Structure 1
Amino acid sequence: MSENKATTTTTSTPLSVVIRSAKDVAAALSYQQGPQKGAFAVVILALGGIFMDAYDFSSLAFGITQIKVEFGLTGFMTGLVNAAIFIGAVIGALGGGYLVDRFGRYRLFMADMVFFVIAAIGCALSPNVETLIFFRIIMGIGVGLDLPVAMAFLAEFSRLRGKGNRTQRVNSWSPAWYAATGIGYVIVLILFLGLPAAQYDHLWRYVVGFGAVPAVVVLLVRRKYLAESPQWLANQGDLVGAVDILRTKYNVAAVLAPKQEWDLAVPPKASAKSFAVLFSPRYRIRTIAALCVSVFSTFGYNAVAYGTPLIISNLFHQGPLVTIISALVINFGFGVGGGLLGVALVSGWGSRKLALIGFAVQSASLLVLALLGIPSSALVIFAVMMLAVFIFFQAMGPGAQLMSYSTLSYPTSLRGVGVGFNQAVQRSFSIVSLIAFPILATTMGTNVFWVIAMAPLLGTLAIALIKWDPTGKDVDAEDNYEVVSA
């Protein structure tokens, strides 16, 4: 084996892996070939957090019209209510990215769910728009904390190549995201059909408040079944804990070498300087590529996905039932379907190719909508299909790959900071787009699609020029070359 791979032996357990250093733990995780039953459970728990992130992000998408009427909001204040969760997400992502690398994945993963529970209840009971905005910011902090640690778990409990590899599992965040968004619309539909008409004005409160229920479930299940990342433990010099989790959670036949053989050299611990490392010569192009995928992806996504009810009801002039069902089908059918296709294709095609294809098709769908204008009769179905095409290729392409780029471009010691910084920048642009879109849609009508189309066009150009593709890259091995004594 190469020097980056852990030593195997047959003297203790068949195909056992002898652990002497943090680099051996990284190699054991990257190149392990056996079953991954324990790791699969960890992945499911990580996706549970992403499910909550998506649900809370999208839970107000349908109800924003009712909120606007109830609180008498201007276009700017409507956009601010939508964007408040992203303000919190910027704060949470920057802080969470650093904290997850500094203090561990497990502690942060347990703490962030508390934000979801408190915020969901607070939003549902908000007596005025100021209170609603405050709790939406709290909710965003929870999302910002959760995403860096969820991505770290998906990467660090998966092998580098083969079935169930890192790129596939990181990509799996995309169908999980759209499933959560779709379930949100299922809840809206059930309540819309089941509640008396007099209660419709409070529909958004029920939908948002329901988010506290799955958050409590995820918190309790995590507490029982989750464990710390073995790679993070090894990077702190805790080889004993790392070996224990390799054996019990990852099903690796790991054997701890005699203490006198241990190499306790570890990567530098996370600090404020870690953010500067993202732009060091080794990582600069990767960071720029990840930012391009995220920023150009998020502008169009926020306008189309979060704006779907507004687009269908206001720009396409459809009623609430058509709006709910259309949003449900777009997210459940096309979002989840595109996400699953991306998971299936990414190992062979690579993240870069999928991002390029996704951006290109999204540009075309938005330009068609711009040319179509206000649809009538059968053209309404065609216009909704163009929204569905946009979401399908978002879920398969840049929407999924933005996490692959930001998660798999950096080694374990820098992963949380990398994802957190990327998310903070991405959410900052989300704030701009969510505030701007209702205003632009009101003033420009369907001509707003000309503006939105510029984002995926720029994304296509950027990724065509930048050759970096994180698919299948053993970036954790890079920690071996920048070590300091523990």
Structure 2
Amino acid sequence: MEVSIRPFFVPGTRPLTAKSLDREVEKLSSLVLRGVHDVVSYIDARPRIAGRAGVIWWLALSGLFLDAFSNSALSAGLGPMTKDLQLSAMQVALLTSLASWVAIVFNPIGGWMADKWGRVPPLVFAKFLALIGAALAAFAPGFEFVLAGRFFVGAAYGIDFAIAMALLAEFTPARFKSRINRWQGIWYTAVSANLLLAVMFYNMGTGASIWRYAVGSAGIVAMALFLAQLLFMVESPTWAARKGLLERAAVSMSKIYGEKFTAAAPGDRTPILNQATRGFANIALIFRGTYLPRTILAGTVQMAQSIQYFAVGWYLPIISLTLFGQDFVVATLGP
């Protein structure tokens, strides 16, 4: 018996062709995103941070390694640099504090960039700034160029730190949120690695130019991370969904988790509530209402910690010279 199959359609609609039927089947077999809640729920349900998501997570954390590495690059070489460039006490104070002052200014700028253009472009841009800063300092003919280099390092630090922490939070399932605190271990690993490199450079006979090798090595780390983040980072689907870019969020989710994601039809999407629309003016929000006391508390704690940390941290090798003798290797291994 012969059976003929003809396309079925309702008057006023298009016939269901083989191609459109394939599209409908594909939609049914994919995960549909209706809003940011679906993105967050899927990430929170993940049993571990693995695959492409794990690569992105560690690349973001590696950016914090660079922040610490760049900031502490002059620590072990501060004494030799002071003699090499014949710096005054005022110049040393300006040099060691400039990066932190610049970071304060560029931190909210980085937040604005991340909100406007996504997480990945500012993160990659920060590595480029760190590379410029390292090159300027490493080949500086005098104090002014080293100062300019520290300016770029501070800008990179300010932009990178807040965005990297936000990206880590967005890629970390709720049950693993405590893992975000690993940045502190990464920070001290970077500082310790810097001091060990200083010992290696010293044994190579670099003499008073040892500080140039220290900041130059930070440039190598910046270049490696610049290329790695450019090649392997994927834009945060949580950011895209919050901005109403569900199609972009679906593409990111598909790349990261290896499953097929599609954006829901416009009529089926979850409305975006309390979306910030004032751009750079949103920075003022942290100084008003319920955010003001939190800003004061966080700022006070951070300032007090920084005074202690940098007062001791920057000058640890010099302090060690007094405690352990004038041997550079012993004084560096002390910290």
Q: Which residue type is aligned with residue 204 of structure 2?
A: G
Alignment of 1:194-343 (within 5 A): 194-195=204-205, 199-250=206-257, 254=261, 256-265=263-272, 267-269=275-277, 271-314=279-322, 317-327=325-335
Structure-1 separation of matches of 2:111 and 2:46? 30
Q: 2:135 aligns with which of 121, 132, 150?
A: 121
The Cα shift of 1:174 comes to: 0.8
Distance across 2 between alignment mates of 1:255 and 1:32: 18
Contact in 2 for aligned 1:95/1:145 (Cα 8 Å): yes
Match of 2:177 among 166, 172, 186: 166
1:113 and 1:142 in contact (8 A); partners too: yes
1:191 corresponding residue in structure 2: 201
Counterpart position of 1:418: none
Query: Over aligned residues, Cα RMSD in angstroms?
Result: 2.3
Contact 2:67-2:157 within 8 A present in 1 as well? yes
CA distance in 2, matches of 1:94, 1:255: 33
Deviation at 1:281, TM superposition (A): 3.5
Find the aligned partners of 2:285 and 2:229 in 1 and give their Cα distance. Answer: 32
Number of residue pairs matched by the alignment: 307
Equivalent residues in 2 for 1:81-96 (5 A)? Answer: 81-96=95-110
- What residue identity is the alignment partner of 1:33? R
Counterparts in 2 of 1:269 and 1:176: CA distance versus 1, 3 Å? farther
**Equivalent residue for 2:165, pick from 144, 151, 166:** 151
Match for residue 20 of structure 1 among 34, 51, 61: 34
Deviations 1:329-385 (A, max 9, x none): xxxxxxxxxxxxxxxxxxxxxxxxxxxxxxxxxxxxxxxxxxxxxxxxxxxxxxxxx
Instruction: Tell me the equivalent position of 1:177.
Output: 187
- Aligned counterpart in structure 1 of residue 45 of structure 2, from 25, 29, 32: 32
Q: Secondary structure at the match of 1:39?
A: helix
Kept in 1, the 8 Å contact 2:324–2:331? The answer is no
Task: Note the alpha carbon deviations across 1:19-55, whole angstroms, 9 max, x for none.
Answer: 21233333433x3233431322111111121111111
Q: Secondary structure at the match of 2:279?
A: coil
Whole-angstrom distance in 2 between the partners of 1:255 and 1:166: 27
Measured at CA, do residues 306 and 270 of structure 1 come closer, stay the same or move farther in structure 2, by a change above 3 Å? Answer: farther
CA deviation digits over 1:304-325, x for unaligned, max 9?
Answer: 2222112212466553121111
Which one-letter code corresponds to 1:278 in the other structure?
I
Partner Cα separation in structure 2 for residue 286 and residue 42 of structure 1: 30
TM-score by length of 1: 0.59
Q: Cα deviation per residue 1:145-168 (whole Å; 9 max; x = unaligned)?
A: 1112111111111112x2xx2332
Structure 1 residues 89 and 82: CA distance shift in structure 2, 3 A? same
Partner secondary structure for residue 265 of structure 1: coil
CA distance in 2 between counterparts of 1:248 and 1:35 reads 17
Q: Is the 8 A contact 2:108 2:283 kept in 1?
A: no
For the 8 Å contact 2:324–2:330, the answer to whether it is kept is: no
Q: CA deviation at 1:65?
A: 0.9
Map Cα deviations across residues 54-108 of structure 1 (whole Å, 9 max, x no partner): 1110010011111211222221211111112223322322321221122211111
d(CA) in 1 for partners of 2:249, 2:309: 39
What is the correspondence of 1:61-72 to structure 2 with a 5 Å cutoff? 61-72=75-86
Alignment check: 8 A CA contact 1:230 1:243 kept:
yes
Give 1:115 deviation, angstroms.
Answer: 1.0
Shift of residue 17, structure 1, vs aligned partner: 5.8
CA contact (8 A) 1:98 1:270 kept: no
Matched residue of 1:249: which SS?
helix
Query: Deviation of residue 270 (structure 1)?
Result: 5.4
Report the secondary structure of 2:113's partner residue: helix
Is 131-140 or 245-254 further displaced after alignment? 245-254
Shift of 1:290: 2.4
| CA–CA distance in structure 1, aligned partners of residues 161 and 211 of structure 2 | 25
TM-score (norm 2): 0.84
CA contact (8 A) 1:36 1:251 kept: no
**Cα offset, 1:227, TM superposition:** 0.9
Q: Where do residues 331-410 of structure 1 align in structure 2 (5 Å cutoff)?
A: none
* Cα-to-partner distance string for 1:378-410 (whole Å, 9 max, x where unaligned): xxxxxxxxxxxxxxxxxxxxxxxxxxxxxxxxx
Q: 1:177-199 CA deviation, whole Å, 9 max, x = no partner?
A: 1111111111111111222xxx3
CA deviation digits over 1:387-441, x for unaligned, max 9? xxxxxxxxxxxxxxxxxxxxxxxxxxxxxxxxxxxxxxxxxxxxxxxxxxxxxxx
